[in-house]
């Protein structure tokens, strides 16, 4: 792999981490608000933002690779 491709792949992974983390925070808040509205108990998952960040990074790298392969 050339250095440029490594940097681009790392940038895609970083963007996926940030986007996945933000999505996980919003999803966790929505679950908590739904729990408060329905039963009075706040609900949520402790590591949901971390898990969605990892999945987001993986998806971003896979989509980046597929896009690069089709453009050649």
Half-sphere exposure of residue 32, counting CA atoms within 13 Å on the CB side? 11
Q: Collect the ranges in the chain with pLDDT lower than 70.
A: 1, 71-72
**CA-to-CA separations, 56 to 7, 17, 39, in angstroms, rounded:** 18, 6, 31
Q: What is the pTM of this model?
A: 0.80
Quote the pLDDT of residue 16: 94
Q: Using an 8 Å Cβ cutoff, are 13 and 38 in contact?
A: no
Quote the pLDDT of residue 55: 94
Domain regions of the chain by residue span? 3-71
């Amino acid at each position: 792999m050339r250095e440029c491709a490594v940097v681009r792949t790392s940038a895609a992974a970083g963007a996926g981490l940030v986007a996945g983390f933000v999505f996980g925070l919003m999803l966790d808040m929505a679950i908590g608000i739904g729990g408060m509205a329905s039963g009075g108990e706040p609900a949520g998952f402790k590591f949901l933002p971390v898990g969605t960040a990892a999945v987001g990074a993986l998806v971003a790298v896979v989509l980046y690779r597929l896009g690069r392969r089709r453009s050649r």
